[in-house]
Amino acid sequence: MGLGAATLFLIRCATVPVTPRTFDLQAPPVGDALALPAKVTDTTGAVVIAAFVEVNAPEGVVNPPGRPEAVTVSWTGGLCDRAYDVLIERVGQGLRVSIRTTAGQVCRLLGIGRALEVTFSVAMPANAVELRLLRQTGPAGLGQLSRQDHPVVKSANWAVRSPEVRAG
């Protein structure tokens, strides 16, 4: 099953109402970085498992070797991170994984590699998944889009697709 199976699944999901499913996870401690709460919300109905994994990879989306039904989403966090809010949603004929990092303040000195492995009920080619990273500093809580968000949108090949992020 390749991109065709994923596309057919996503088209079917577009016509069938899906109740969002939430996975409450904990990002493990890394070096001096503490363990952090992470909420993963799947609005596609396709996610079977979501778990943090130890992978040393650049920011982006890849299929783990021999696992076409899974993608590993990697990004760089920081020592000031306080929580992660991950939204998996259908966009066009693919998926978008949006990761909002809530931080207590802006930290520029140390990058902490984070990786989330998401297993789907069908094969999901990495090139069908767009990664959107949002960094939020200040008092706004999880799930809120504010002017303090700093968007970075990356495709599966780690190239910047668009500097824009729109609410809603």
pLDDT of residue 120: 97
| Residue with the larger pLDDT of the pair 11 and 92 | 92
Q: CA distances (Å), 104 to each of 78, 139, 147, 165, in order?
A: 10, 8, 16, 22
Distance CA 50, CA 67 (A): 14
Q: Which of 44-53, 60-69, 153-162 has the lowest mean pLDDT?
A: 153-162
Is residue 114 included in any domain, yes or no? yes
Model pTM above 0.85? no
Residue 39 — left, alpha, or beta (φ > 0 → left; ψ -120 to 50 → alpha)?
A: beta
The total number of structural domains in the chain stands at 1
Q: Which of 42-56, 123-137, 148-162 has the lowest mean pLDDT?
A: 148-162
Is residue 80 included in any domain, yes or no? yes
Which residue, chain included where needed, has tokens 């199976």?
Answer: 5
Q: Which of 5-14, 103-112, 156-165 has the lowest mean pLDDT?
A: 156-165
Is residue 162 included in any domain, yes or no? no
pLDDT of residue 79: 84
Domain that holds residue 71: 3-140+148-154
Is residue 165 included in any domain, yes or no? no
Coil, strand, or helix at residue 83?
strand
The residues facing 38 across adjacent strands are 25, 84
Is residue 168 included in any domain, yes or no? no
